[in-house]
Structure 1
Amino acid sequence: MNMLASLLSPSPLLTTVSTSTASSQQQQAAAQTVRLPPKPLATTSTALVAAAAAGLLLLSPAPAPCRADPEFSVYYGTAASAANYGGYGGNASKKDTAEYVYEVPEGWKERLVSKVEKGTNGTDSEFFNPRKRAEKEYLTFLSGIRALAPLSAVLDNLALSDVGLQDQIASADDVRSDQRSDGAGQVYYEYEIAGAGAHSLISVTCARNKLYAHFVTAPNAEWGRDEAVLRRLHQSFKTIDPAAPPPVTES
């Protein structure tokens, strides 16, 4: 009976071996867990992409600042004769005695017109862009003109006293002319000259027995850059004599 019980009882040797085997497997698993290498932070391709992006940021130039639209001021011109060069004296201001106005961009400089120049070709005022002196606007006038000549003749008459205008017309790719009237009935002739080296806008009118011609001109490179501003200057010119009747236009 005792022999049968001993045969049916679990063997201490087998139990010890099983326990030892399980313990060994747990130790091996723990060792394997400890020996696992750390997970890389990024793959090689990801690192290369990040490095390339950083390089582009360093090499890319900073964006250029946007150039704001320029401010404008109003110039009041008196169209004084050469004999009255330098003003009328007294306390009269240009604004009180002005015969015409036009806008001037901020930063443009006024060129002092000499008495000789005023007497020969009638230049009354001139402003220019200091970055490019050939980009400018100016006004000439002639006294004793009661009415505008035909549209086709006025431009040729202006060129007689302006050698630069003669050359520009001679080399022009296109010359356009038009006529407009303001709200008061004042008639203006308008010309656009697309020359080989420069572009010009001219506005001509008569008032107070005078012919006024306002010029806006610029080399083609500056015209391409500043066309909107230059057209605004052209449109800003007008005579200011509310008491004068509208000028008569010859047929």
Structure 2
Amino acid sequence: MFPSLLLSRAPSSPLLAAASTSTAASPPAGPPQALRVPPPSKKPPLATALVAAAAAGLLLLSPAPAPSRADPEFTVYYGTAASAANYGGYGGNASKKDTAEYVYDVPEGWKERLVSKVEKGTNGTDSEFFNPRKRSEKEYLTFLPGIRALAPLGAVLDNLALSDVGLLDQIASADDVTSAERTDGAGQVYYEYEVTGAGAHSLISVTCARNKLYAHFVTAPNAEWGRDEAVLRRLHQSFRTIQPGAPPPATES
């Protein structure tokens, strides 16, 4: 009886009890957890952002391109080549367009210079327009009555210079003088001259009609010629005489 009592009351080992308690409290080990990798950032790298910002700054600081200049507009001038005795017009309801003997283009913004009666009677100047930014850039027309036909090509320019001191000086100091003859669609013959001087450039067109000699001049200092050559050549090419009974040309071109 005593041995069984001793066996039943024998205390258990503390180490065994602790081990059994710990084993019972620990849950069974599960499968290993996978590591989550954060997604890549959507922001660009710092160097890329700095380059983009610098490019945007240059675009903002760059000046806007200058607008292209529009082609200048022109109007048609109607010249009557009236004598000094009829200076100021024919009076009444006479229209310069209806009585015009010649026409040429005038750039928009150019001003007309009033030709005096004395000037008309001495050198035959009938009309003149100039660029208000540079008065020496101009076009004008002179006429001489009583001339039925053109003289030889080489002689006409020298004869014109006798009554135009400025032209005479320009020819005397010219680097080059060229001449040519052309005929328009109506059969009208024109002599054309180009005078390249040390300080100015001139284009001259001469023809005979209505028993008169007409000379149209386009002249400009070399600086203005270099800037406006296309416009000045258009003025030169626009000059023509109007045959009697022919309808007047359009008022604008």
Match in the other structure for 1:239:
241
Residue of structure 1 aligned with 2:159, choices 157, 163, 185: 157
Seen in structure 2, the aligned counterparts of structure 1 residues 84 and 224 have a Cα distance that, compared at 3 Å, is: same
Partner of 2:105: 103
Residue equivalent to 1:44: 46
- TM-score (normalizing by structure 1): 0.80
Cα distance, 1:121 vs structure 2:
1.4
Q: Secondary structure at the match of 2:215?
A: strand
* Corresponding residue of 1:166: 168
Distance 1:212 1:128 in 2: 19
What residue in structure 2 maps to residue 191 of structure 1?
193
Aligned residues: 227
Alpha-carbon distance, 1:136 to partner: 1.3
Q: CA RMSD in A?
A: 2.9
Letter in 1 for 2:132: P
Structure 1 residue 20, shift from structure 2 partner: 9.2
Instruction: Tell me the residue number matched to 1:230.
Output: 232
With structure 2 as the length reference, what TM-score do the two structures score? 0.80
Q: Deviations over 1:80-105 (max 9, x none)?
A: 11121111111111011111111112
User: Which protein has the bigger helix share?
Assistant: 1
Q: Please give the alpha-carbon distance, in whole angstroms, between the structure 1 residues aligned to 2:135 and 2:25.
A: 108
Structure 1 CA distance for aligned equivalents of residues 196 and 240 of structure 2: 23
Distance 1:18 1:227, change over 3 A: farther
Most deviating of 227-236 and 51-60: 51-60
Higher alpha-carbon Rg: 2
CA gap 1:17/1:145 in 2 versus in 1, 3 angstroms: same
- Cα distance in 1 for residues equivalent to 2:29 and 2:231: 96
Aligned twin of 1:6? none
Letter in 1 for 2:211: N
Tell me the percent identity: 82
| Structure 2: runs of 5 or more not aligned | 1-20, 247-253
Runs of 4+ residues over 6 Å off in structure 1: none
Q: What's 2:138 paired with?
A: 136
Per-residue displacement from partner, 1:113-144 (whole Å, max 9, x unpaired)? 11121122111001112222222111011112
CA change 1:37–1:151 in 2 (3 A) is same
